[in-house]
Amino acid sequence: MMVKTTLQGGLIYLTMVFFTATLVAFGFKRRTLAKGFWFAGFLAALSSVIWRGIHTGHPPMQNLFEFFLCMAAFLWPLSQLSRWKNDMDTTVKDATLGLIILFPVGFVFSEAVRRLPPALQSPLFVPHVASYVAGYIMLARAALMSLPMFKRSSTKVEIVGADIASRQTVVVGFLLITIGLVLGSLWGKLCWGHYWQWDPKETWSLATWLIYGVYFHLRMKTGLRKPRQLATFLWIGLLFIVLTLTWINLSRMFSGMHNYA
């Protein structure tokens, strides 16, 4: 646990304060104020990402600190998209997700700047990582949107609404992680000589991709007859993502070619 006393740290904590204020304002049913805080939080998160990019001189997607920072800045545009596309207000879920994402950024990960090693100097670096950032966020949101599918008290209309919102979100997330996986393969071929090395991070990513494969096939097989089962697979997918970002990234048990990430 460490507190950052730099401008970067200040921007991160400011974002966290705005996200918390959003939740508090929502709790007191001050929706306009909450929206204002939510947007201010986005501006702070965006400033944090931009400052990191300027400060380091490279796209801020090199390590977990930068990866999570970018994830937090993606949330506001996505919640606006949900409002526009699915007519759903996901501000509380997104702000909570933002706080969960920013906690390790603010208090656990180091912000020390590393100069890019030769392997990371590739035009595929940003699209590969960015599609995973966006994909993981979408899939995390899909899991949150599926929550009414677990409740016994949910009406059928609520279940259908949750299904449509989570399904549309998960399919975009799936598209993005597929792009990430394919770009990673192409980059692996250019950098390491092979498109697939059975590296622990690769195999966990494939496992995640396949879990969403289970979800889509199950969705087609059973329709909405077993909503809880469908939602369970979305949460297993999210569990795999969390494990990929934490245990697989940080444990020595899974050391491999992605070690600098």
Partner 1 sequence: MKKLINKIAGLGVAVCGCGVLSLASIVLAFFGSEKSIQLMATAPALGISAFIALLLILRGGYAVFTTRYHSALLHLGCACVVSGWLMGQVAPYIGGEDKPVKGSMAMVDGDVMNALWEGAYLTNYVGKVPFTVKLDKFIIDYYESSHVDQSAGRMPPIKEYRSRITITEPGKDPYVKNVRVNHPVYVDGYHIYQMSWGQSQNRQGQPVTYTVLQFIRDPGLWFVYSGFVIIFAGILLFCIRMFKAKAILPSSDREVTQ
Distances (CA, A) of 257 to 63, 76, 107: 14, 33, 27
Distances (CA, A) of 238 to 52, 128, 205, 253: 27, 19, 12, 21
Compute the CA torsion angle 220, 224, 229, 234 (nearest 10 deg).
Answer: 70
Give yes or no for residue 182 binding partner 1 (CB under 8 A).
Answer: yes
Q: Among 11, 16, 248, 249, which residue sits at the site for partner 1 (rule: CB under 8 A)?
A: 248
Rounded to 5 degrees, what angle do the CA atoms 222, 225, 230 make?
Answer: 70
Residues 119-158 that bind partner 1 (CB under 8 A): 119, 121-122, 156-157
Give yes or no for residue 235 binding partner 1 (CB under 8 A).
Answer: no
**DSSP class of 252:** G
Q: Which is nearer to partner 1, 40 or 145 (CB)?
A: 145
Distance CA 32, CA 25 (A): 9
Distance CA 66, CA 100 (A): 15
Residues 13-52 that bind partner 1 (CB under 8 A): none
Place of tokens 């986005």: 42
Each residue 190-229 as x (binds partner 1 by CB under 8 A) or -, in order, gives xxxxxxxxxxx--xx-xxx-xx-xx-xxx-xx-xxx----
Q: Which is nearer to partner 1, 47 or 178 (CB)?
A: 178
Min dist CB 192 to partner 1, Å, is 8
Structure tokens belonging to residue 128:
């590969």
Give yes or no for residue 81 binding partner 1 (CB under 8 A).
Answer: no
Chain residues in the site for partner 1 (CB under 8 A): 114-115, 117-119, 121-122, 156-157, 160, 163-164, 167-168, 171-172, 174-175, 178-179, 182, 185-187, 189-200, 203-204, 206-208, 210-211, 213-214, 216-218, 220-221, 223-225, 248, 253-257
